Amino acid sequence: MVYGIGICLPAEFFLPSDREANSDFVTRLKKRINDIKPRPVTRHGTKRTFVFKELRSSPYVFLRHDAARGPSQPPYDGPYEVMERGDKNFIIKINGKNVRVTIDRLKPAFLLSEDLEHSPEDSVRTHEETTNPRLKQRRTKTRIAKARTDLLYAQAERSVFLSVYKPDSINEFCMRLNILC
């Protein structure tokens, strides 16, 4: 005996076994496997795209730029005017051309009425202005100066100035507060 089992002859590769017990086990196992029914699966593969509710009524939209971008480049371009709405895509005006874009790349633009109004300076350009670089440069400088003054006025409206009193001595400080030191 070797390790609790008798030595096999060279022609005996397998030990004799009880065929009845194994066949009974196999038939019961097959029956169990056939009784197993798959559970109804949920749809994991369909991904719902988030769509803004305001997209249906917004006159202007931002367009997501799907290409690789630099660290200082914004993810959305625009705002662009909506020309036509569909179920899955919109037609928006980009650089004077109507472009069809899917709704998953769009985001509603909430603009102030001031932003929508165009000044007469912006809309009227003469042939002389487009060809003469000095006029272009002067116009750009005026716009920059106007933007700076607008910014200064906005900052002045929001600024809070606190007066700070620094006494020269402790006695002056005590007199200021009407206390005895």
Q: What is the pLDDT of residue 10?
A: 72
Query: Is the bond preceding 79 in cis, omega lying within 30 degrees of 0?
Result: yes
Q: What is the pLDDT of residue 78?
A: 80
Secondary structure class of 93 (helix, strand, coil): strand
Regions of the chain with pLDDT less than 50: 119-129
Domains of the chain: 55-109 (2.30.30.140)
Q: What is the pLDDT of residue 146?
A: 63
Q: Can you tell me the distance from the alpha carbon of 27 to that of 29, in angstroms, rounded to the nearest whole number?
A: 5
Q: Can you tell me the distance from the alpha carbon of 148 to that of 154, in angstroms, rounded to the nearest whole number?
A: 10
Residues ≥6 apart with Cβ < 8 Å to 174? 180, 181
Contacts 24+ apart (CB under 8 A), 9-18: none
Q: What is the pLDDT of residue 58?
A: 87
Residue 62 β-bridge partners? 107
Other C-beta atoms closer than 10 Å to the C-beta of 61 total 23
Residue 60 β-bridge partners? 81
Q: What is the pLDDT of residue 71?
A: 83
